[in-house]
């Protein structure tokens, strides 16, 4: 069993066209993400999965690995599955989906994401959460929230602030979903063949497809938040935090 990192990167983002190539502190964002990923000791290889030759050329230019995928994929997960097949992964390998709009993350969260696969053969998919304290983050629909059961499995993901605290005097605990995922390769192939569900369509969150089909997602709590770029205005904020 080997562990592979894949960074899905498409050029035609609706809110921020060309986002992977946006320059942050003198480097394209995709390079920041790639360099964070390759610093994770668990990875045998890291690949950028893209549908655009401009992104592929930039990745090759800084010495990274890129694999071209079809432009019609409906999600990053579908893109990663095609890339993983082209690269030649075995069904027992572990695939980590690294978001291409998170230019700075701690390599230790990859270790956290992978560990459950080594401890429990029944686990097919993992992801991360981070405790929120700022009310603005809790109410921000760009920050997806997650609630879990007592065993650390996801119960629901939402763009709304969940859970709703009826008693406003109670201690409010809310967790942000960090969009990194781990999959067993065999399950990844199954996942991309599942039909889209009503909840996924409503929230526009593809991970809800897994829950709607009755499959468990193990959620680990990260000690680190993610730094995300959603719109061009986020670049200055990111550079300030990275500095």
CA angle 76, 78, 80 (to 5 degrees): 70
Strand partners, 115: none
> Along the 243 residues of the chain, how does pLDDT read in single tens digits?
899 999 999 887 777 888 999 999 999 999 999 999 999 999 999 999 999 999 999 999 999 999 999 888 878 899 999 999 999 999 999 999 999 988 888 989 999 999 999 999 999 999 999 999 898 999 999 899 999 999 999 999 999 999 988 887 767 889 999 999 999 999 999 998 999 989 999 999 999 999 999 999 999 999 999 888 877 888 888 887 776
Q: CA 222 to CA 43: how far, in whole Å? A: 19
* CB-CB contact of 145 with 159 (8 Å): yes
> Homologous superfamily of 3-242 in CATH?
Spore Coat Polysaccharide Biosynthesis Protein SpsA; Chain A (3.90.550.10)
Q: CA 168 to CA 170: how far, in whole Å? A: 5
Give the global pTM.
Answer: 0.92
**All structural domains of the chain with their residue ranges:** 3-242
Compute CA 74 distance to the chain's CA centroid, rounded to the nearest angstrom. Answer: 15
Compute CA 75 distance to the chain's CA centroid, rounded to the nearest angstrom. Answer: 11
* CB-CB contact of 232 with 22 (8 Å): yes
């Amino acid at each position: 069993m080997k562990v592979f990192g894949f960074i899905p990167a498409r050029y035609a983002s609706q809110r921020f066209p060309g986002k992977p190539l946006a320059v942050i502190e003198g480097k394209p964002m995709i390079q920041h993400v790639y360099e964070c990923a390759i610093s994770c000791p668990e990875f045998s290889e890291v690949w950028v999965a893209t549908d655009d030759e401009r992104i592929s050329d930039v990745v090759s230019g800084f010495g990274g690995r890129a694999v071209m995928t079809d432009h019609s994929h409906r999600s990053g997960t579908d893109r990663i599955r095609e890339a993983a097949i082209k690269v030649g992964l075995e069904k027992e390998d572990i695939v980590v989906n690294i978001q291409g709009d998170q230019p700075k993350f701690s390599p230790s969260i990859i270790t956290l994401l992978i560990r459950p696969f080594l401890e429990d053969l029944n686990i097919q998919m993992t992801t991360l959460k981070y405790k929120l304290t700022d009310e603005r983050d809790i109410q921000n629909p760009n920050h997806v929230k997650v609630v879990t059961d007592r065993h650390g499995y996801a119960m629901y993901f939402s763009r709304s602030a969940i859970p709703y605290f009826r008693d406003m005097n109670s201690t409010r605990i809310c967790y942000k979903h960090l969009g990194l995922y781990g999959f067993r390769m065999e399950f990844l192939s199954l996942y991309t063949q599942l039909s889209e569900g009503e909840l996924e369509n409503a929230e526009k969150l593809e991970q809800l497809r897994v829950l709607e089909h009755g499959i468990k997602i193990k959620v680990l709590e990260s000690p680190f938040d993610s730094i995300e770029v959603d719109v061009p205005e986020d670049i200055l904020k990111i550079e300030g935090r990275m500095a």
